[in-house]
Amino acid sequence: MQKLRQYLSLIKFSHTIFALPFALIGYSLAIKDVEIFSNTSKIKLFFLVVLCMIFARSAAMAFNRYIDRKIDAKNPRTASREIPAGIISEQKALYFVLINCVLFIATTFYINAICFYLSPIALFTILFYSYTKRFTSLCHFVLGIGLSLAPIGAYLAVAGAFSLLPILFSITVFTWVAGFDIMYALQDEEFDKSEQLFSIPSQLGITKALKLSIIVHFITAALIVGIGFYSNLNYSYWIGASIFIALLIYQHKIVKPNDLSRINLAFGTTNGIASLVFAFFTILSIFFSK
pTM, two decimal places: 0.95
Tally of CB atoms within 10 A around 89: 11
* pLDDT-based confidence at residue 9 (cuts at 50, 70, 90): confident
**What's the sign of the alpha-carbon dihedral 171, 176, 182, 187?**
negative
Compute the distance between CA of residue 81 and CA of residue 276 in angstroms, rounded to an integer: 27
User: To 5 degrees, how large is the angle CA 249–CA 254–CA 256?
Assistant: 110
What was the pLDDT predicted at 14?
A: 67
Domain boundaries along the sequence of the chain: 2-288
267: left (phi over 0), alpha (psi -120 to 50) or beta: alpha
Query: Which runs of consecutive H residues, i.e. helices, occur in 160-205?
Result: 164-184, 189-194, 200-204
At 145-201, the pLDDT tens digits run 999 999 999 999 999 999 999 999 999 999 999 999 999 999 999 999 999 999 999
Select 2-288's CATH number: 3.40.1440.10, 1.10.357.140, 3.40.50.970, 3.30.565.10.
1.10.357.140
What was the pLDDT predicted at 35?
A: 73
At 232-273, the pLDDT tens digits run 899 999 999 999 999 999 999 999 999 999 998 888 889 999
Give how far Cα 205 sits from Cα of 14, 65, 71, Å.
29, 25, 21
What was the pLDDT predicted at 232?
A: 86
Contact at 8 Å (CB) between 82 and 9? yes
Average predicted confidence (pLDDT) for the chain: 94
* pLDDT mean over 5-25: 82
At 90-117, the pLDDT tens digits run 999 999 999 999 999 999 999 999 999 9
At 124-161, the pLDDT tens digits run 999 999 999 999 999 999 999 999 999 999 999 999 99
What was the pLDDT predicted at 251?
A: 96
User: To 5 degrees, how large is the angle CA 260–CA 198–CA 267?
Assistant: 35
